[in-house]
Every structure is written in structure tokens, then in C-alpha cells.
Amino acid sequence: MSSRHWLPLELKLKEFAGSMKHDFPNQHADYWDRYTALLSNLDLNVYPHINAGLSCLSKSPGFYTDHGARHFDEVVKFAGLLIEDTFNQQNSALRPYELYLLLCAIRVHDAGNIDGREEHEKKASAILMKYGGQIQLDATELNLIAVIAQAHGGRTIDDDKDTIGKTVPEETTVGGGVDVRSQLVAALVRFADEICEHSARASMHHVSEGSLPEVNMLFHYYAASIAGAKPDRYNKAYKLQFSFDTALFVHKYLTPEDEAGNQTEKYLIDDVWDRINKLNHERVYCNRFLLPSMQTDRLEIKMTFFKTIDVSGTKVTTNCEQRDLTIKDEGYPSVPSAWREKEEMSELKGENLAGKAW
Amino acid sequence: MNINPFAVSSPEMMGADEINKLFVPLSENFEIDAPGHLFIHGHRGCGKSMMLRQMTPDCLMLSLNKSLSDLPFLGLYATIKSTDLDLTDFDRINNQYAGLVLAEHSLSLFVTSKVLQSLREHMGDSLNNVEAPKAIERLCSNLLLDKLRSVGADFSVSDNLTSTAEVLKQSIRVIDDVYGLMTSYLRKIGINESYIPYSGPLVGYRDFLFPFLCELTQLDCMPKGKPVYLLLDDADNLSLLQTQVLNNWVSFRTGNKVSFKISTQRGYKTWRTTTKQRIETPHDFKEVDISTIYTGKPSKTAYPKWVEDVVNKRLAQCAIKASAQEFFPNDYEQETKIQALARKRIENWEVEGKGFRPGDDAYRYARPDYIKGLGAKQMRTYSYAGYDQLVHISSGIIRYFLDNAATMYGDELKSKLSSGSKSDVGLSRISPSIQDQVVRDSADKLFFGALDKLEKDAAADQLGASVQQFGQLRNLIKALGGIFQAILLSNRSERRVFSIALSDSPPTEIMNILDLGVQHGYLYEAAIGTKDGRWRTRRYVMTRRLAPLFKLDPTGFSGYLFVTTQLLQTAILNPSRAVAEFESGRLGNVIENAQLPLEFQS
């Protein structure tokens, strides 16, 4: 592990684990050791085999975008970008144990893919049971990390996407009287994972060779089109830069089968808008749980369209068009009003209170 | 041997055949058999357990004459006793999250174990074949045992099981052993201050019980593709934390796969989930209060009719050829005198009548007139015998009727035997004097013995209501009984008063006493319009089981007493003073309301 390039958030944990032991549930334990032991186990036994597991063991076998070790590093990096510098602001940052939980949860959130794509988010607990190291000796900590990690996707048992609200405790106290804002941590895992999509996750070799399986093209072409992606915390924005090869706009591509076994065809650009729409949904959803210092209020999208032409036998890339798009919270918001119909509100109506003897 | 037709057994101990013979469906249809979560509230003995038990497959197969696989749902019954769960141990956990996770773990294991037990006991012979044991063994192995192994449980199982019962027994043993690991941990942390993490297996509803229940009805031997109904009896016995966990489960709208049908004795501890969300009706669940099914407006005849069906069925089972009315005759001499008074009222109605119809006056005043006419010293001679009076006295709770009837049957038999009858003598009626004595003893026990026991329990239980609160409840009941008696003996136009309505908003301390009364069956709660008609207020009806104690007419009421906080405060501190102040006209106000539901009016 000594040769590993530690990311800023990880270095922050190392610092906390050494200097703020009383902010962890067990002040005698070394939480940096605990984290690195987990990571070491995952590096050795899980990460190298996730892409193969995804390819072969998923219900729809194929060539998936990269979900290996680099993906987990990237999510740690993006989480860091979302909360960078907040540690200097009082009451605006994660607490030491929350940071530990965040990093552990990120490290296992997609690890279940090793056994195939289906319900991978539900397998965080099983991964920790096997490779958690010291965490295996504390079943309730293991459970908390798993609950946070598992809320990064999927649905609840009654088919609700509100996995954070329905399955993660808002705040809880763990051993040693340490308070944890578990929904906040879960929202960070979820949003960091959501925005961690860019060209490095596509296999550029297979994209350029055009040798991808038909059903996997759309995923790779989408990722390949993202030239840059970065949260801009100071402007509360998430910036996405697309570089579209117009040649990819010509055809429709197959989508993977849905749960009912249906398969459709889609143009790349339509798929992009569907994904942007989902990203914006996730942004709004996660904002509900994030601290103000970590929230984003817009997506800033830059698009460059290019084509490749043949000039005297040489392939030359030329820009055709450029467009900008900002999707942001604006206008008078639409908020749920069902609270007013709730049972506890039913008696609190003006006409009723006017006649009540207090 | 002479079998007591009114003996009451716990429904969980009864066989399907017995349930099928004795069960009488409630008159009110509240869609208990429809998918969706449902809470059934009601006092102890009102028939909740019987209703749930009747939904298990062995009973349903008999009543619907269908095979297991053709049933409309798979009902799995689990009763929750306070001694089943080591509740006190949870209090030692100061690690809130660990407490929450362990509560989920313990409840998941507990209910799963009960579910398997119900599969063993409530399927009749349907699983005694070649295929079922294999299918159930595969399911238990894949979804329960493998899951427990994956979370670190270490156990061995036998491969040579041939019957479904053995397969289920083995899984129950494993689950109970895993449960034991947690209780050992809880005891360990109780004596140690340092941080001791729990390192045993952990499971939850979503990853353990729910998938198992969903797959259960995918088996060919089960009602395939039909929902599972988890019939949880007496959920009040769960701890606060476990109640929150159960509310989490209810908050998932999984009715098409798994529905909870939960009974409570009005002591359900919270409607919040562990994430502090409140589960709401009708969004998350429906609820029905059986105690009020028979006290509401549409219930004028429903409860007496239901009791009559139950009694007739039980009498027929014992080959007693008498109807309920004939078996519990009234005091002929007394009723003749009351009827004479009623006739006199009808005759005088045109001259001095106060009610809307001649029958109104006759009904309202004849019986109170008779009691009043007995005078203070002779009031004790009023007889509470007769089927109709006994039904009213049971106050909407069938168990009260049956328990009294069972005692009466025993006493009557004893009396016959002592007078030289043979031991296999068949009874054809219960004498009015025995009926009267039993309900009087029962009222005494309720006011003295039962309250004494509650006070004693309160002294031992630091968390529940205090001894002082039970003392205040006793005072309140005493004051209300005294005031109702004073009203009965007065010259007021409406003298049959059994309930109070709040004319203002009493402080929490008083509301807690009223709630305590409701919880323990001394009072029934309902709502009513205020005097000015603009607002609805709470109304509390005193149980008619106490009618003999306070020498009241149990057969109905049509007035209610509007009370202020001041009267209630006086009542809980000094009942005699409250009665005296009411009689001198300083406190309380009796309202006659023709629109009021005439509960139990015959």
C-alpha cells in the first residue's frame, strides 16, 4: 500500500485518524489502518476482477464501461471535489468519522459488480463481510457502511427510488457517542458516483476500432463523448464538457434489455439528454441531504460537435459547431403539498380552531 | 364429562376444527382479507386473535373448502408475547445505531422463526407429501440458511430430513441459535463500560425475511402468486425501538407481495419509523378499532346480534337446545314490573310525554324509574340477569360476555350437583340469581382486583404509567360512577348517562389518565360535536361492566355529561367532592341529544 498514490480526501482521513482519535467511536482503534486494510483487500481480491465479472456474470453479458479500481479512485476524487475546502469551515464539513464512512462506502459501493450487474448495489454488505478486515469485527459499523453504500442506486422493496430517505437513518449516534449524519454521507457517495462519468471510462481503443458489441456501443459512446467533467463548488455548478463526433449521430444504437426483456434503439444525442435529465434529478435529490456548502444549483454543459474529414489521405478533425446549455434551479418551485392532507394536520384548520375551547 | 360451552381458549392454542366451529365473522366488513397493511385495534378479548387465527391456511381451507394452493392468500400467524423478546436488554445499548440495527435483526429473526412455526402448525396436512419438503428445504436453504452463513453464522444442518416439519424445525433451531448470539452480546455489554462492538451475524427485513416471504408463494405447494399476510398479534408488546422497526416495514407499500395485519390492544407505542417518519393512514395502512365498531352509530343491533350468533353456536356445539335468550333468562318478576312502568308511561305520554315517540319515553324512563323506585337501600336488589343486560354489560367485548357466561355455567352446575343432580346433568338455563351474582362479582374484580394489579405492576415497571396515575384513574372512575348514579336517581329529563364529553382542552396530565382508562378498558373513546356544533370533541364512555358496582342501568344511554377540566381535576383528586359539587350544580352539565348514537339500545 505504501506505493499507492493517496487522494486528498484519503490524506485528510489519515490526518484525522492520527490527531482526532476522540472523534471516532473507538478512540483506541486506528481508523486509517482500518481503511487501508479494507482497501488492500479490495485491491488484491476484488477490483482486478470486477470488469470480468461484469462482462460474464451479468444477466446481459457484454463489454461494460470501466468499473475497475480506477473508477473507485475517481469517485473518491469527485467526492473530494464536491467537499474540497469545506473542512476549513466550521459546521460546513464532514466530521472525521463521517469522512471514514464516506471513503469506506465509496470503496465498496460498486464492488458487488464482481458478481454481475444485477442488484450489485445490494452486495456491499457481502463484500464487507468477506474483505472488510477489521470492519468485519464490528457488525454494526459494517452495516452502516453497507447501508450508505447501498443507497447509491437501485430501489427500495416497494419500488421507490428514494433509497436514501427510506433506508438510511437521517442522523444516528454510534459507539462512543459519535454522531453521524448518515444521509449526508450517503448523498455524497451517490452524487459523486453519478457525476463520475467521462471518457476515461470508455474503451477508446474499441471505440476507435468500432469493435464494440452492438448492445454496449451507446454506453461507451456516451462516456467517450465527455471530454471534461468537474464540480465547480465555488460557483455551485457541475460542469460537463461534451465533444461529439458527428459521425455517431447518424445511427440508432441498441439499448440493453429492460426488466421486461424489451430492447429499443436510440440516437446517441437522445440518450445524452436522457442521461443529463437523470443527472439533474440526482443533483436535486442529493441536494436535499447535502450541506449548503456542498450543494450545486446548476449543470453547465458545453458541447462541441466535430467531424473527421479526409484531406489528401490524412484524417483531419474539424469543429463544426459549439453550443452551451445551463440547467439550473429557477422559477417558483413546485414542492409537495401532501403534508397538508396528513392526519395530524386535519384538525388544524381555521374553522375548527375558531370553535375550539382551549 | 360436562363441557362448559363458554370456556375460552387462546386462539393460538386452538385447532382449525375448533376455530371453524366457533368463529363467527364480524358484521362489519373492513376488508381484512384485502391486500394492504392493516392495524386492528381493540381491547383484550374483543376477538382480534380469533380473527387473525382464522386467516391461517388450516382454518381457511376448512371454511372456504379449498386446498392450500387455491387459497386467496397465505396467512402466517405470529403472536408477540412480552416475554418472547428480551426487551430490557435493549435499554443497555447506548450506541443508538447499534440498537437500531440489532432491533431490526432481532425482530427479523423473531418473526421469521414465528413464520416457520406457523408453516409447521397451520397448514393442515397440505405439506405432508413428497414434493413439499424438498421445495421448502430448498427455499429455507437458499434464502435463510445460506444468508445466515454469508453474514457469518456458523452452524451445521442435517441432509436427511424427510418431512416438512423436520425441515422447518431445523431452520427454526438455526434462527433461534443466531438470535441467541445477539442476546448474549446484549448481556455482555450490560456489565462492561468499554466499547464492545457486536461481531455476530446481522440480518434485516429487506435482505432476509421479505425475500423469503416473496419466494414462499412462488412454490407450487403454496397459494402461488398470491400475497402473504403476516398476522402479527399483540404488537403492543414490542419495545419502542422494535415498534419503530415494524413501522419501517409497514412504510414499504408491498401489499401485492407482503401485507401486515397487526393487532394491538391500544397500547401501540409509536407511529414513527426509525428515520423519524410518521406512518399515516390511509396512505401507508388502514386501521380499524373493533371496540368502536360496536359503539358507533351503525352498531345498534350489530353487537347483540353477533354475540347471539356466537352464543347460539356454542350452545349448539354442546347439544343444548336453548336459544341465547332462553339460556340466560331475565328476572321475571323484575321485568314484569318494569314493563308495567313502561306501559304506564305510554299511556301517559299524550298528557305529559317528553320524548319524540311514546316508545322513547317508555324505553328511557321505565328501567331508571324502577331502579329509582327501589330506593337507596333496595337498589342492591336490582337484578342484572337476562341475556340483553348481559350483552350490554359486556361492553362490546365478547370475552367479557364469555368469561362471565363460563363462570355462570360452572356455578349453575355446582349448584345442581350440590342439590343431588347427576354429574352429566345437562343445563338448559342459568338462573337469574347466579347471573346477577357473577356480573356483580365481576364488576367488583374489575374495580378492585384488576386496578390493584395494575398499580402493583406499575410499581415494578419504571417505564410505564405510575402508581399515582392508576390511583387517579380509580378516583376518576369512582367519581364518574357516583355522578352517573346521582343523575339516574335525579328528576332530570335524561337520566341514563354513561359518558362524558370534554367541554375544553384538559392538560396533558389529565389526558394521560383518560388514555390510561381507555388503554385498560375502563373507558371507550369516541368523538362528538361540541354544544355549539362547530367543533368535535372527545367523548369517553365508561364501561358498562361497572354498572352493577355503581347500581346503574346498563341498557343504553341517550345523554352525556359535558365536563370541564375543573371537574376532572376534582374527580381525580377527590371523587366524593366531585360528586357533591356536581349534585349541588356547581360542576358539569348534562346534555340530552336526540342525535346521539344509542349504543346497545335494544
Model confidence over B536-554: pLDDT tens digits?
A: 678 898 999 999 999 998 8
Q: What pLDDT was estimated at residue B598?
A: 33
Average pLDDT for residues A59-80, to the nearest whole number? Answer: 89
Q: What pLDDT was estimated at residue B385?
A: 94
Mean pLDDT, all residues of chain A: 89
Picking from A166, A163, A182, A43, the residue whose alpha carbon sits closest to that of residue A100 is A182
Distance between CA atoms of B341 and B343, rounded to whole angstroms? Answer: 5
B273 and B161 share a domain? yes
Q: b vs e for B119-144, b when ≥16 Cβ sit within 10 Å of the residue's Cβ? A: bbbbbbebbeeeebbebbbebbbebb
Average pLDDT for residues A31-36, to the nearest whole number? Answer: 97
Phi and psi torsions of B14, nearest 5°: -90, 145
Residue of B nearest to A123 (CA): B207
Evaluate whether residue B500 is within a structural domain. Answer: yes
Distance between CA atoms of A251 and A266, rounded to whole angstroms? Answer: 8
Which of A139, A141, A354 lies at the smallest CB-CB distance from B200? A139
B268 and B388 share a domain? no
Identify from A127, A157, A166 which residue to disrupt to test chain B contact, counting B C-beta atoms within 10 A and taking the largest count: A157
**Chain B residues inside the 8 Å CB shell of A355:** 530, 532, 534-535
User: Can you tell me whether residue B322 is helix, strand or coil?
Assistant: coil
Which of A126, A167, A357 lies at the smallest CB-CB distance from B505? A357
Chain center to CA of A332: 28
Record: contact A169-B198, CB cut-off 8 A: no
Residue of A nearest to B202 (CA): A139
User: Can you tell me whether residue B500 is helix, strand or coil?
Assistant: strand
Which of B94, B206, B530 lies at the smallest CB-CB distance from A157? B206
Distance between CA atoms of B455 and B202, rounded to whole angstroms? Answer: 39
B317 and B276 share a domain? no
Kindly report which listed range (A211-225, A313-327, B84-98, B322-336) carries the lowest average pLDDT score.
B84-98
Record: contact A167-B206, CB cut-off 8 A: yes
Distance between CA atoms of B8 and A250, rounded to whole angstroms? Answer: 79
Calculate ∠ Cα B487-B455-B294, nearest 5°.
50
Kindly report which listed range (A173-187, B157-171, B358-372) carries the lowest average pLDDT score.
B358-372
User: Which contacts of B487-491 are long-range, i.e. CB under 8 A and separated by 24 or more positions?
Assistant: B487/B559, B487/B561, B487/B590, B488/B368, B488/B371, B488/B372, B488/B551, B488/B552, B488/B553, B489/B371, B489/B372, B489/B376
Interface residues of chain B, partner chain A, Cβ below 8 Å: 94-98, 100-102, 150-152, 195, 197-202, 206-207, 210, 251-254, 274-276, 278, 280-281, 503-505, 530, 532, 534-536
Q: Strands of A237-245's sheet, edge to edge?
A: A226-232, A237-245, A298-311, A314-328
Domain boundary among B276, B293, B310: B293
- pLDDT value at B597 more than 60: no
What total of structural domains would you count in chain B?
A: 2
Are B588 and B482 in contact, with CB atoms under 8 Å apart? Answer: no
Distance between CA atoms of B233 and B268, rounded to whole angstroms? Answer: 12
Tell me what percent of the residues of chain B surpass a pLDDT of 70: 85
Which band of pLDDT confidence, cut at 50, 70 and 90, is reported for residue B533?
A: low
Identify from A172, A341, A343 which residue to disrupt to test chain B contact, counting B C-beta atoms within 10 A and taking the largest count: A172
Record: contact B150-A126, CB cut-off 8 A: yes
A174 — contact with chain B (CB < 8 Å)? yes
Identify from B95, B278, B565 which residue to disrupt to test chain A contact, counting A C-beta atoms within 10 A and taking the largest count: B95
Record: contact A175-B100, CB cut-off 8 A: no
Which of A25, A122, A157 lies at the smallest CB-CB distance from B254? A157
B237 and B283 share a domain? yes
Which band of pLDDT confidence, cut at 50, 70 and 90, is reported for residue A203?
A: confident
Are A242 and A226 in contact, with CB atoms under 8 Å apart? Answer: yes
Domain boundary among B268, B293, B318: B293
Which of B197, B278, B280 lies at the smallest CB-CB distance from A137? B197
Q: How far is A144 from chain B (nearest CA, A)?
A: 8
List all residues of chain A from 13 to 32 with a beta carbon under 8 Å from chain B. Answer: 25-26, 28
Picking from B252, B248, B253, the residue whose alpha carbon sits closest to that of residue B271 is B248
Between residues A172 and A190, the one the model is more confident about: A190
B59 and B138 share a domain? yes
Q: How far is A168 from chain B (nearest CA, A)?
A: 7
Mean pLDDT, all residues of chain B: 84
B486 and B554 share a domain? yes
Q: How far is A352 from chain B (nearest CA, A)?
A: 6
Strands B38-41 and A237-245: unpaired
Kindly report which listed range (A26-35, B239-248, B421-430) carries the lowest average pLDDT score.
B421-430
Top mean-pLDDT range of A196-200, A352-356, B323-327: B323-327
Predicted confidence (pLDDT) per residue in A40-69, tens digit: 999 999 999 998 888 888 887 888 888 888
Average pLDDT for residues B362-386, to the nearest whole number? Answer: 84
In this structure, the dihedral spanned by the alpha carbons of residues B48, B51, B56 and B57, taken in order and rounded to 10 degrees, is: 180
- pLDDT value at B600 more than 50: no
Q: What pLDDT was estimated at residue B588?
A: 59
Between residues B593 and A121, the one the model is more confident about: A121
Average pLDDT for residues A325-352, to the nearest whole number? Answer: 81
Which band of pLDDT confidence, cut at 50, 70 and 90, is reported for residue B595?
A: very low
Q: How far is A54 from chain B (nearest CA, A)?
A: 21
Record: contact A140-B97, CB cut-off 8 A: yes
Which of A168, A173, A354 lies at the smallest CB-CB distance from B95? A173
Are B500 and B561 in contact, with CB atoms under 8 Å apart? Answer: yes
Record: contact B97-A136, CB cut-off 8 A: no
B432 and B530 share a domain? yes
B244 and B318 share a domain? no
Distance between CA atoms of B62 and B423, rounded to whole angstroms? Answer: 34
Q: What pLDDT was estimated at residue B358?
A: 61
- pLDDT value at B470 more than 80: yes
Give the domain range for residue B549.
302-331+383-592
Q: What pLDDT was estimated at residue B594?
A: 39
Distance between CA atoms of A5 and B364, rounded to whole angstroms? Answer: 91
Q: How far is A303 from chain B (nearest CA, A)?
A: 42
- pLDDT value at B355 more than 60: no
**Chain A residues inside the 8 Å CB shell of B100:** 169, 172
Over the Cα atoms of chain B, what is R_g? 27
Average pLDDT for residues A240-256, to the nearest whole number? Answer: 91
Average pLDDT for residues B371-391, to the nearest whole number? Answer: 88
A-B C-beta contacts closer than 8 Å:
102
Q: Is A28 exposed, middle or buried (0-12, 13-18, 19+ CB in 10 A)?
A: exposed
Kindly report which listed range (B207-216, B363-372, B390-399) carries the lowest average pLDDT score.
B363-372
B97 and B185 share a domain? yes
Identify from A24, A34, A140 which residue to disrupt to test chain B contact, counting B C-beta atoms within 10 A and taking the largest count: A140
What DSSP element (H or E) covers B374? helix B358-378
Beta strand residue intervals within B234-352, DSSP E: 258-264, 286-289
A137 — contact with chain B (CB < 8 Å)? yes
Picking from B390, B521, B383, B529, the residue whose alpha carbon sits closest to that of residue B451 is B521
User: Can you tell me whether residue B153 is helix, strand or coil?
Assistant: coil
Average pLDDT for residues B59-79, to the nearest whole number? Answer: 93
B191 and B310 share a domain? no
Which band of pLDDT confidence, cut at 50, 70 and 90, is reported for residue B464?
A: low
Average pLDDT for residues A330-355, to the nearest whole number? Answer: 79
Q: b vs e for A254-285, b when ≥16 Cβ sit within 10 Å of the residue's Cβ? A: ebbeeeeeeeeeeebbebbeebbeebbebbeb
Residue of B nearest to A348 (CA): B535
- pLDDT value at B587 more than 70: no
Record: contact A169-B199, CB cut-off 8 A: no
Q: How far is A142 from chain B (nearest CA, A)?
A: 10
B227 and B323 share a domain? no
Q: How far is A26 from chain B (nearest CA, A)?
A: 7
Between residues B277 and A162, the one the model is more confident about: A162
Q: What pLDDT was estimated at residue B147?
A: 94
Q: How far is A107 from chain B (nearest CA, A)?
A: 19
**Chain B residues inside the 8 Å CB shell of A138:** 197-199
- pLDDT value at B298 more than 50: no
Average pLDDT for residues B352-378, to the nearest whole number? Answer: 73
Which band of pLDDT confidence, cut at 50, 70 and 90, is reported for residue A275?
A: very high
The grid cell for A261 is 426483456
Distance between CA atoms of B537 and A358, rounded to whole angstroms? Answer: 11
B185 and B259 share a domain? yes
Residue of A nearest to B249 (CA): A157
Record: contact B534-A342, CB cut-off 8 A: no
Residues 6+ apart with CB under 8 A from A167: A147, A150, A151, A156, B206
**Chain A residues inside the 8 Å CB shell of B536:** 352
Which band of pLDDT confidence, cut at 50, 70 and 90, is reported for residue A180?
A: very high
The grid cell for A178 is 459519535
Tell me what percent of the residues of chain B surpass a pLDDT of 90: 41
The grid cell for B312 is 347460539
